[in-house]
């Protein structure tokens, strides 16, 4: 069965802390996406990965194909990073399958 698991479900941290959100999937994939959803519902695509590592500003995403695992890191976290972060993968059936999301709250 094609499954995506994220951890933790909820994460609260102080401003400035280093944040890690994890995503594991059950079988081989074509690509993995990290998405950010703010209150109100709008979704922003942060990264698309099929191998290795990508960096954009304070955000870093890595993927280990052999381990079927990806991580999203946020350095020097800020209250504006507070959002739900969602991992989504494309399995062989080409349908985007979503994790349950990680609700991140950064306290000033």
Residues that bind another protein (CB under 8 A): 30-31, 33, 35, 40-45, 48, 86, 88, 90, 93-98, 100-101
- Using alpha carbons, select from 105, 99, 107, 90 the residue that is nearest to residue 6: 99
Nearest CB to another protein, comparing residues 27 and 107: 27
Least Cβ distance, residue 6 to another protein (angstroms): 10
Which CB atom, from 17 or from 26, has the smaller least distance to another protein? 26
Compute the least distance from the CB of residue 4 to another protein, in Å.
10
Residue at token pair 């995506």: 4
Whole-angstrom distance, CA of residue 60 vs CA of residue 54: 6
- What is the rounded distance in angstroms from the CA atom of residue 1 to the CA atom of residue 58? 34
CA distance 9 to 3: 16
Shortest distance, CB of residue 29 to another protein, whole angstroms? 11
């Amino acid at each position: 069965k094609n499954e995506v698991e994220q951890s933790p479900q909820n994460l609260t941290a102080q401003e400035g802390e280093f944040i890690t959100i994890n995503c594991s999937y059950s079988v081989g994939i074509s690509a993995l996406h990290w998405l950010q959803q703010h209150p109100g519902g709008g979704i922003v695509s942060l990264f698309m990965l099929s191998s290795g590592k990508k960096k954009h500003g304070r955000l870093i995403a890595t993927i280990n194909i052999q381990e079927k695992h990806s991580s999203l890191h946020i350095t020097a976290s800020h209250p504006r990073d507070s959002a739900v972060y969602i991992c989504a993968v494309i399995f062989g059936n080409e349908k985007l399958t979503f994790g349950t999301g990680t609700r991140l709250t950064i306290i000033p």
